[in-house]
Amino acid sequence: MGISSPRLVPAGAPQTQAWANDADIAVTILASGPDETDWQWQLSIVDITHDSVFPACPDIRRQCVALDAPMRLQRDDQPDTALLRLSVTRIDDTCPLRVQIPEGATRVFNLMLRGNAEGELIARPLNGSMWLPVREQWLWFVHLLSGHAHLQAGDEHTELDMGSSVWMDAQPGDRARIEGGGELLLVHLPKKPVPGRLG
């Protein structure tokens, strides 16, 4: 992906398309990597405007979070799963999953992982300052849902406003800090492909 130091994601970078099984629902692909064609991880936002279904994707593990309102997930012969706003849930996409939005439309942020790929999605309030752990050959994706924040990685500084996204490629020994107030999405991802596939 060629990412080095904090850089703002260009406004034109995301790609919006219709959901595979529901043309009335829009999916915005924020990033895919380490190879965009044969990706091992993908970040997306789905605009859920009515009850629908997550399609089955047997080789994908999904971490998702409702951004605007709670959701309810239903799978045959299993108890319903309630997704509170800003509560991250891990889903195995081996079978279709019915999605209900009892309190109205919501956006859903997804981290999708293929094969042996690793990654972590975090949603949290920002009240003051927080430090991000720096791991060699790993990236941070930072998206500010609300408020304002200042990001420092080594000697680089970036201001974030509501809706801004930034990639952070800090090196071991760098100080990576976010300071401000609002709500954050954080995704921790490897820079290089992960060998092997889940069997």
CATH number of the domain enclosing 71? 2.60.120.10
64 shares its domain with 32 = yes
Instruction: Decide: 106 and 142 in contact? Cβ < 8 Å.
Output: no
What is the arithmetic mean of pLDDT over 166-190?
90
180 shares its domain with 99 = no
Predicted confidence at residue 2, as pLDDT, reads 43
Sheet holding 15-19, edge to edge: 15-19, 22-33, 41-48, 106-114, 60-66, 89-92
The string of pLDDT tens digits covering residues 120-137 is: 999 999 999 999 998 888
Indicate the burial class of 55 (C-beta count within 10 angstroms; 0-12, 13-18, 19 or more): middle
The reply to whether 151 falls in a domain is: yes
Q: Which domain holds residue 91?
A: 7-114
80 shares its domain with 147 = no
Please state the pTM of the whole predicted model: 0.88
Predicted confidence at residue 9, as pLDDT, reads 62
104 shares its domain with 166 = no
Looking at mean pLDDT, say which of 14-18, 72-76, 94-98 comes out highest: 72-76
- Between 195 and 117, name the one with better pLDDT: 117
- Between 143 and 75, name the one with better pLDDT: 143
- Between 76 and 118, name the one with better pLDDT: 118
Predicted confidence at residue 149, as pLDDT, reads 96
What CA–CA distance (Å, rounded) separates 179 from 128?
5
Predicted confidence at residue 12, as pLDDT, reads 52
124 shares its domain with 108 = no
11 shares its domain with 102 = yes
The reply to whether 91 falls in a domain is: yes
Work out the pLDDT band at 176, boundaries 50, 70, 90: confident
Residue where a domain stops, chosen among 99, 114, 129: 114
pLDDT at 23 exceeding the cut of 70: no
Residue where a domain stops, chosen among 92, 114, 136: 114
Residue where a domain stops, chosen among 82, 114, 146: 114
18 shares its domain with 86 = yes
99 shares its domain with 26 = yes
What is the arithmetic mean of pLDDT over 3-31?
70
